[in-house]
Structure 1
């Protein structure tokens, strides 16, 4: 462990502090924790069914460019971009691939794999135009505002497309009276606005973006104070931290208690690879805004290979049985239905195991389907009813009255807990 800590300590020294400047005391991730997080990302490359551009982005921003897993992932990302970008990727997915390639010092306008190529920047701009057109017409994009925020950030960093006009639209969304935009969406939108603010020469545009950035960043400070370090939830906190690290001029003279936020994130011991990938950039003071300005030849780091601790093991040991109550409800589409059951699973089981147990006991009522995503398996259909991007419907999971903040492959119900799956809109 000592050699691992020294390796990461050297990494942190070489990295500097990115766009955020010198980190105040208490705002550095402990070296052992960064080691643990990078190892989770490295293992995820081999274990994941879907190549994750957020993991590649995290490797690059953390300076772990010497990792074999990183090289393998870069190859997969390029291949996947060529094969799927124009066909079945959402604009947000294309944006993440663009950010990942920019951070790898690759030109997104010319991505090659197996003698085929794609202009990813052009594809992103085309998909963003469709998102923006729907947003202007109906007040909602084709997918989500989160995706559009990523789109504008990637276009701005790649210096492609009409990102200034897109940023104006995002700023107006953030400033709209009564808007209820969640923290992670506000964060990616704010990062996009920061990029455009630094690029535009139009005074009126800068004034509008400044107003939106002041509102978002000051709101994050308020939420952190209320959440004792947590901004929204533990997963959105790291994205909000990127904004607070880079937007100090927009919330001055107020100060950010970065040590409190850092402690909240790294004390949570994140395990899910996507959550880790989302946290690493803020924890090493290298936000997404740095993605297009990295020198990929300077820092190379070998991530130490350490034995897994029990908390890092990929296969959980079975505990004594627990009882979980499970209810599915649809009042939105077709004939309404509600079914309830109670299942027994080993303690420490994920919610996915609960759904599998319910389906095994009663496949007629509790059948379900999942799709592999960067956040793990996502339930796309229950009882034959599938969510729809067109209708903006999905299956939302609750513990009692509280919406779950983790996916079915990560969340672990407790004995006696009541899990509800409700067909909902977004």
Structure 2
């Protein structure tokens, strides 16, 4: 889902910087579209179960620093950082919180809330060191290359830690012909490399980073040509204009403010105002109207412990989300189809089915398919059609 939103922004940043050796390009957003996207983000603050640093970044980079939603979100992010950064957050989450606070002109070295404080950069440096050590030894980080890209970007923008050496390792990963790195990860890693490229004085490092950045820019241009102007797929491109998280990813590029600008914003500038948008009810898991439809649902595990493969058919109102299908299956057969979710920036994510939970340590997760195609939307957004077969497969990444 990030592919269209984030990769376009990175491509524009690379083309405009000169590091990729290409001519600058522009992309303008009509004022009414900017307003609409900001309104989506404003509403998401009230509806989201957890604070989203990507939304705060988008507010700040778009200049909408005076909105009520933005002020409330900033306070939430500070509270959450103090509460969870050291124990519950991945390195990538700490990096996003750091970038969000930087773009708010708040010092990530001293985040305060309710009488407590945390040094996010110290936490981030420690977590990144563990990620990179694992990457060097085993070829994969503790979490994902995407997270490590965010880590290095945040460390670079704050001139903290061994970000230059970490960038060299990331550049070699991008240039390794055996590496199969998805578009989203390429995009985030490219931002980190661009930051280091603009700061390092070492000629060998400059040459390596420029080679890697050219590789990414050319790859994005090839994908855009193959997709008739679309990077990723048309499904994710349309989603970028509808979902709050995707809007948050796309908006910085559309206002010519990539994440690279997070540490250099002028917070004294008069803020963009966001007209009030009538609030609509939060999206429910089931449709309010519509005849019943039949959805086939199966879960399968061949990776861990005792294998299992269960199938069922449920009836839900037309227009129901996939989450409603899972709930109906669990209600009918709780022993086979019990499941758990956790809140994320993209909405609820299924983390456990039939008692089997995904793990960062094992790099496992529950992947959803419609037939043979992997779903590009979350369970609270995707709406199955009548007769569709949804499969949940325990997978690795």
CA–CA distance in 2 between the matches of 1:401 and 1:118? 45
Q: Does 1:346 align with 2:335?
A: no
Q: Does 1:416 align with 2:394?
A: no
Match for residue 54 of structure 1?
54
Give the direction of change, closer, same or farther, for the CA distance of 1:395–1:18 in structure 2 (3 Å limit).
closer
1:151 counterpart residue number: 151
Partner Cα distance (1:381, 1:352) in 2: 13
Q: Is 2:267 the partner of 1:322?
A: no
Q: Aligned-pair distance for 1:151?
A: 0.1
How many angstroms apart in 2 are the aligned matches of 1:163 and 1:405? 32
Write the distance in 2 (CA, Å) between the matches of 1:167 and 1:415.
Answer: 48
Q: CA deviation at 1:178?
A: 2.1
Q: After superposition, what is the alpha-carbon deviation per residue over 1:178-221, rounded to whole angstroms, capped at 9, x for unaligned?
A: 21111010000000000000000000001111111111110000
Structure 1 runs (4+) deviating above 3 angstroms are 17-25, 233-236, 312-317
Structure 1, residues 317-345: CA drift from partner, whole Å, max 9, x if none? 43222211111010001111111111111
Q: How does 1:9-88 map to 2 (within 5 A)?
A: 20=16, 27-88=27-88
Which of 394, 398, 418 is matched with 2:369 structurally?
398
CA 1:60 to 1:235, structure 2 compared with 1: closer, same or farther past 3 Å? farther
Give the CA RMSD over aligned residues.
2.0
| Structure 2 CA distance for aligned equivalents of residues 133 and 176 of structure 1 | 18
**Which of 236, 257, 281 is matched with 1:286 structurally?**
257
CA distance in 1, matches of 2:279, 2:101: 30
Structure 2: tracts of 5 or more residues without a match: 1-11, 18-22
1:172-211 equivalences under 5 Å are: 172-211=172-211
C-alpha separation in 2, matches of 1:158 and 1:235 = 36
Q: Which residue of 1 aligns with 2:330?
A: 359
Deviation per CA, 1:81-106: give whole Å up to 9, x if none. Answer: 11111111100000000000000011
Indicate if the aligned counterparts of 2:43 and 2:279 stay in contact, CA closer than 8 A.
Answer: no
Instruction: Give the stretch that moved more between structures: 190-199 or 355-364.
Output: 355-364
SS at match of 1:199: coil
- What SS does the aligned partner of 1:349 have? coil
Q: CA deviation at 1:120?
A: 0.7
2:240–2:250 contact (8 Å) kept in structure 1: no
Unaligned runs of at least 5 residues, structure 1: 1-16, 237-264
Which one of 313, 330, 341 corresponds to residue 370 of structure 1? 341
- Quote the Cα distance in structure 1 between the aligned partners of 2:119 and 2:76: 17
- Structure 2 equivalent of residue 274 of structure 1: 245
Shift in Å, 1:405: 1.1
Corresponding residue number in structure 2 for 1:305:
276
Mapped to 1, the partners of 2:38 and 2:325 lie a distance apart of 30
Q: In the aligned structure 1, how far is the partner of 2:274 from the partner of 2:388?
A: 39
Structure 2 CA distance for aligned equivalents of residues 269 and 287 of structure 1: 16
Moved more, 158-167 or 43-52: 43-52
8 Å CA contact 2:240–2:247 kept in 1: the answer is no
When residues 223 and 338 of structure 1 are mapped into structure 2, their CA distance, relative to the original with a 3 A threshold, is same
Task: For 2:235 and 2:388, locate their aligned partners in 1 and report how far apart those are by CA, in whole Å.
Answer: 22
Distance apart, 1:113 and its partner CA: 1.2
> Does the CA-based 8 Å contact 1:324-1:413 persist in structure 2?
yes
Shift of 1:32: 2.4
User: In proportion to residue count, which structure has more helix?
Assistant: 1
Query: What's 1:165 paired with?
Result: 165
TM-score for the superposition, normalised by structure 2: 0.91
Could you report, residue by residue, the CA deviation over 1:29-81 in whole angstroms, capped at 9, with x for unpaired residues?
23222222211111111111111100100000011001011011101111111
| Secondary structure of 1:292 counterpart | coil
* Kept after mapping to 2: 8 A contact 1:182/1:232: no
Is the 2:330–2:336 Cα contact (8 Å) retained in structure 1? yes
SS of 2:360's partner is coil
Alignment of 1:181-260 (within 5 A): 181-233=181-233
| 8 Å CA contact retained: 1:326, 1:340 | yes
User: Which structure would you say has the larger RCO, counting Cα contacts within 8 Å and 6 or more residues apart?
Assistant: 2
- Contact 1:323 1:417 (C-alpha < 8 Å) held by counterparts: yes
Q: Is residue 47–residue 282 contact of structure 2 (8 Å, CA) maintained in 1?
A: no
User: What is aligned with 1:105?
Assistant: 105
